[in-house]
Structure 1
Amino acid sequence: MEDTDLINAYISEFPPKVQEMLQTLRKVIKESAPEAKEKISYQMPTFVLHGNLVHFAAYKNHIGFYPAPSGIEAFKQELSIYKGAKGSIQFPIDKPLPYELISRIVKFRASENIGKAKNKSEKRP
């Protein structure tokens, strides 16, 4: 099964309202990092660009978004209204997702990963 099909299958397991949120989240991530590839990692939809970019997953009461600790730290102020941990944010399912903020986080992470990859390649003889 292709990675895109695996993500479609993952999303299809949820109620219609949650499916819609996940599809929109996926679209926002794709638009924010068009060169990123999709796969399933840690049993979650994942976008990869020079390493893991972001993951997302649905749970009973929230959508988990995992932009790595740097993605949380860079937007700490705006994310402070959500539950979260070092590398994760919980967006309540009963409220609209902050797609504009998510887009900015994804762009930040893409830029960060591209920068790291560039630095690595410059260090090679």
Structure 2
Amino acid sequence: MGPVTDSLAALDEPVRSVFASIHARLRELVPDGITEGMSYGMPALLYRGKGILATVQAKTHLSVFPFSSAVVEQVAPDLAGFSLSKGTIRFSLDQPIPPAVLDRLIELRRAEIDAKRA
């Protein structure tokens, strides 16, 4: 077990399933090199030792953190009506992140990490 697994286990349904499906999709798109750890004080999935994605439940919303303001900026045009900040996408059970946008977010962050290692 790791920090992400432990944090998921502490969540109630349906939030646990929503976050688990986001993590599963990340693992499908990035099948190698994903580990659990901490990034910016949050349980996070890491790629090559860098935070690729964290999911957090707040009192009034759910959040995805791709640990990159540039990545959030790149997908922002496809997220009209969502609350965004420098490195966060806020969503709800009623308004989940569209699957195509989630895929793009994951792919952009992976490419960013790969480019920094090159």
- How does the TM-score come out when normalised to structure 2? 0.84
Q: How does 1:29-108 map to 2 (within 5 A)?
A: 29-35=26-32, 36-50=34-48, 51-67=50-66, 68-108=68-108
Name the structure where helix makes up a greater proportion of residues: 1
- How does the TM-score come out when normalised to structure 1? 0.80
Aligned residues: 115
| Contact 2:4–2:45, Cα closer than 8 Å, also in 1 | no
Gaps in structure 2 of 5+ consecutive residues: none
User: How far apart are the structure 1 equivalents of 2:74 and 2:103?
Assistant: 13
Distance 1:54 1:116, change over 3 A: same
Shift of 1:79: 2.0
User: How far apart are the structure 2 equivalents of 1:115 and 1:41?
Assistant: 19
Larger radius of gyration: 1
Gaps in structure 1 of 5+ consecutive residues: 119-125
